[in-house]
Structure 1
Amino acid sequence: MKWKGGRKSSNVDDRRASSGGRGRGMPSMQTMMILWPLIKPLFKTKLGWAIIAVGVVAYMSGFNPLSLIGVGGSSSAPVNQAQDDQNAAFISTVLASTEDVWKKELRGYREPIMVLYRGGTQSGCGFANSAVGPFYCPADQKVYLDLSFFDELSQKHDAPGDFAQAYVLAHEIGHHIQNLQGTLSKVQEAKQQWGNSKKSNALQVRVELQADCYAGAWAYHAHKRFNILEEGDVEEALRAASAIGDDTLQRKSTGTIRPDAFTHGSSKQRVEWFRRGLRTGDVRECNTFK
């Protein structure tokens, strides 16, 4: 993807230095408040003090001991600072591209904030850690993105490439569009009536597929305006869409497929709806609720 030299968005809240990442300062206040009930008893014994000392030494050496209890990321490898900063610059440029496209294509479009973090952070929708993956919070109209997810996308889901990463962000921006259009609130009202049921799951699938279609529409307009696509880019996005389909994830985790438990759509559906947006660039073609 052609992105270097492009405009970077100013709507970025970079919390990597304070959200529990390895080798990037101290854990955030929110993280310490959550962990305090576990840490407090350690101050009462010599063994506890020894454990704290070992933890501090490990943290300063680049290993985050909080990752052992699921806070601050799952990897013990130190962060490559130069690569991490380049990833942040890249995704900030992609965000700027979504701003330029949707401000032109959608009347009244309001730009969201993108929060970059590593390990864990607080959102308007509650505390998030790296296991949650990228998500959009309608309560504060922010996209939350742990940059370690891109490593997981490449290594765990076999979907490498910068345009695969761009697709992930564009999908979350699609949820922001749905929030502005009132789609998310209507869906939430319906799901509250139905409770935890197959109908609720099926409705959520339609939400996710529409966001995939919006991501494709963004790619259509971004390439038309900025000539961003290079050979293989579309295939990267399609591979990512397929890799995170519900059937593919279920097959990997349990060996079986349960369509009634789908919440994001099958690999085939996700690919088809991204293709539709990419082919037409028309958000009116993204009505998954028909």
Structure 2
Amino acid sequence: MPIVLAFVVVALLLAWWLGGPWLADFRRRRVAEAPFPAAWRRILRRRVPYLRRLPADLQMQLRRRIQIFIAEKPFIGCAGLVVTDEMRVTIAAQACLLLLNRPAGGYPNLRQVLLYPNAFIVNRVATGSGGVLRDERHVLAGESWSQGQVVLSWEDALEGAAVPGDGRNVVIHEFAHQLDQDNGPANGAPSLAPGMAGARWAAVLAEAFAHLQALQRAGEPSLLSHYGATNPAEFFAVASEVFFEQPAQLAEAYPALYAQFTAFYRVDPLSWN
């Protein structure tokens, strides 16, 4: 009997291990095969003009990604906000840009999207001179938490989608952090695409990061927001915004960085123009 029981337990565990991923893939295929709602198409045309640049095959892939994202990731309204399909589709479309040509199941650690009507305030404890602790209030448009949440201001997410060529997009920024957090705390070293060399990635980003820091210290203007000089994680997120929204400028100013991002994101936005 113990041998039979052990065999049954092993068989059940094996079935669970195999069935879990299989069932997830099955559900995603079912969701992606459903017709894309006409109302969602109208939302994309009205709210996310950037998507018109994409080739037809990537637009089709993106729509499938949006359907899966909305089916799997709950949106939770905060500060009295009632979440609508317009909000879900607009944000999902921008977040899923970062998943094009990747395997199914993007953002595996993301459990929910928290949505505020506009910029929100967070209180944090900071260490001042002499080690004195002090409370600080920060007004934010977005945050990405390693515990599985992305927090966004709907007003800022909407503006980021409406102005697609300014290199500023809070949704791309925070979901780049999510990719960075797939393998641990955000540090500018996300899990790379197959065939990419970690040493080359680190060297290229370190050089571009140092250049941005030098511009920031000198008070000189830069294609990349000076906020990216804060640390490597913020540099990666800021550069991701510019990669999608201002690819020609990024390729000219930082050609090696652009090449690394093309390999990492598995798309070449320059070819969409």
Same fold per TM (> 0.5)? no
Q: For the superposition of Structure 1 and Structure 2, which TM-score range results when normalised by the shorter chain?
A: 0.3 to 0.5
TM-score by length of 1: 0.37
So what's the TM-score if we normalise by structure 2? 0.39
